[in-house]
Amino acid sequence: MNKIAKYLNQHIVGNVYDKPSILEAYSTDRSILKITPRFVAVPYNTDDIRRLVRFSNQLAEKGFNLPITTRGAGLDKTGADLGSGMVISMEKINDILEVDERSRLVRVQAGTTIEKLQAVLAEHGLTIPVHSDPRETIGGLIASFPADPLAQKNGSVYYYIDRIEAVLATGDCIQTTNFTLRGLARAKNLPDFEGSVYRGLDELINDDFDTIEDLATLEPASEGYQMITQVFNTKRKTFDMLPLFFGSQGTLGIITEVILRAEPLEHFPTRMAVGFKSVRPAMEFLQVVNSFSPTALDIYDARIFQKAAENGKDIEILQPLRGKSYYVIATFNGQPGRTKKKLKKLVRYLPENISVAVENPENTNDFAELHSALSSYLNDDTDLERTPVVDGAHVPTEQLANFLVELKTLEETYRMNLPIYGSCITSDFTVRPELDFSSIDGRQNIIHFLTDYYHLVKDHEGRLVDGGGEGRVKGAIVNEDYKEAERNLYGKVKKAFDPNNILAPEAKLGADRSNLLRHLRTSGVNGIIT
């Protein structure tokens, strides 16, 4: 065993590994990258994490490089779970510490999965109303900050996090707090590194006020450190660093505990599916549906379900909708009586020749199979891989029709099918290009496609980064487009939290094309892609 691993094992309860087979298991996530770490650490408690981080920071101060990457469930699609130094896995930091049924607050460790938390909350008649992969960890959900297709009704996960505990780059541990100006003044006078962070943030908010004001005109997003716009509330005169951890992807600190606000369990959803021959009438219908306040409103290229049907996933409710180009799936949660009235009005709005399927007790399983059909398409047996390289791009819904026309041109250029799917509420859309990782030309083609798709999205007033942070993959593209003032602001944020640049230094701001190309994997990802 390496001397460093042996030394660290003497000082933590958990374990640090350098066994090649273990390192290999942590060398990939759900992205297009492969990076083998020097060490994998599996801490058992917060003190373990503090010791590991402090060790890395002390090495950096002496001129040695052992960067730290935090890994939750390993589901990140941008390479943010990967690192060449030490990967800290949160898999053992996964206890549900407290459920306060009266106040609807729950305190959990950051490695707790959504599935585990929801199961425990259900016993108390509660839930966290967010839509995400049930295998995702709570810390990972905050760090990646994906767009939530249920956000119109419930708000994103951002609105259900009360506070967090995190380990900073020096090994100090903080709990985020919503300060008044007087409380902020006291925090800035703290003698430890936490005080330094508060002083740094307060200084940059004053120095870069105009840049922050410009960013505040945009929707809150996980790109860069745009959430700096949410730290200081100018109306209430309050200050809270918590927003900065949303979309930070482990570059500012390691989240260890989270307090969340839960909600009562909701009614079961009722869904309807409508097929359209072209995108224009689909867009018109989407506008009508949106006025009825659906919980979710999604659009799918029909080719996705056609391919799934070839694989045996021929969903009965979609059979009358065959011959269409797009499916719109609307979901309503609420009182059954009110939902029934909304659906009747929507059906009456549709022309007589439009096929529609409305959920009822007899076909509810068919509606539940829609997601499994999508999974069948994404994991189809093909020589190429439908990889999540551009998942979660933001395209304003009013631009979607024109965007899809141009997307057809991109299909012709790359000679591949690019069926789209996504949420018309969050305007978060995904295509899965069929890419070849086995040849040098194929891997270079990935970079070309990523760049061209970015420009297509940008030309339609969208952004490449919406559903989750930019990580190493998207960061290599979007970083080149930052204005100087924006780049300087984000650099100051990173410096305030991580002066020795030990926390995921090649993610987000540190991403570049040469690193991206060097770390592209040469074979497909293991397991099921979602």
The domain spans of the chain are 270-358
pTM over 0.75: yes
Whole-angstrom distance, CA of residue 95 vs CA of residue 108: 6
* 326 pLDDT higher than 70: yes
Please say whether the beta carbons of 28 and 473 come within 8 A.
no
Give percent above pLDDT 90 in the chain.
67
DSSP, collapsed to helix, strand or coil, labels residue 264 as strand
Higher-confidence residue of 152 and 137: namely 137
Architecture of the domain whose range is 270-358? 2-Layer Sandwich (3.30)
- The arithmetic mean of pLDDT across residues 193-216, rounded, is 95
pLDDT at 351 over 80: no
What is the per-residue pLDDT across 416-458, written as a single tens digit (0 to 9) for each?
999 999 999 889 999 999 888 888 888 888 999 999 999 999 9
- Residue 155 — pLDDT band, cuts 50, 70, 90? low
Please give the share of the chain, as a percent, with pLDDT higher than 70. 96
Residue range 283-306: mean pLDDT, rounded: 90
Q: Is the pLDDT reported for residue 88 higher than 80?
A: yes
> Looking at residue 348, what is its pLDDT?
84
Per-residue pLDDT band for 526 (boundaries 50, 70, 90) equals low
* pLDDT for residue 126 is more than 70: yes
> Does the pLDDT of residue 381 top 80, yes or no?
no
What type of residue is 44?
Y
| Confidence grade of residue 152 (pLDDT, cut at 50, 70, 90) | low
| pLDDT for position 366 | 87
Mean pLDDT of the residues in the chain? 91
- Say if residue 26's pLDDT is above 90: yes
* Alpha helices by DSSP H, 84-180: 114-122, 138-144, 151-154
Cα-atom radius of gyration of the chain, to the nearest Å? 23
**Confidence check: pLDDT of 382 > 90:** no
User: How far apart (Å, rounded) are the C-alpha atoms in residues 146 and 394?
Assistant: 11
Decide if pLDDT at 360 tops 90. Answer: no
Q: Which of 100-109, 333-342, 509-518 is the least confident region?
A: 333-342
Which of 51-55, 322-326, 331-335, 521-525 tops mean pLDDT?
Answer: 51-55
pLDDT at 504: 98
Confidence label for 217 from pLDDT (cuts 50, 70 and 90): confident
40 sits in which H/E element: strand 39-42
Residue 524 has pLDDT above 80, yes or no: no
HEC profile for 488-520? Answer: HHHHHHHHHHCCCCCECCCCHHHCCHHHHHHHE
Res. 154: pLDDT tops 70: no
Task: Give the pLDDT confidence of 219-271 residue by residue, as tens digits.
Answer: 777 899 999 999 999 888 999 999 999 999 999 999 999 999 999 987 678 99
Query: Do the Cβ atoms of 246 and 240 come closer than 8 Å?
Result: no
pLDDT at 234: 87
Mean pLDDT, range 7-29, rounded to an integer:
96
Q: Is the pLDDT of residue 151 over 70?
A: no
Is the predicted pLDDT of residue 150 greater than 70, yes or no? no
pLDDT at 143: 95
pLDDT for the residue numbered 61 = 96
Q: For residue range 384-395, what is the model confidence (pLDDT) as tens digits? A: 788 889 999 999
Q: Is the dihedral of CA 383, 389, 395, 397 positive or negative?
A: positive
Long-range contacts, 487-494 (Cβ 8 Å, 24+)? 488/208, 488/211, 489/204, 489/208, 489/211, 489/212, 489/215, 489/225, 489/228, 490/224, 490/225, 492/200, 492/204, 492/207, 492/208, 493/201, 493/204, 493/225, 493/228, 493/244, 493/252, 494/225, 494/251, 494/252
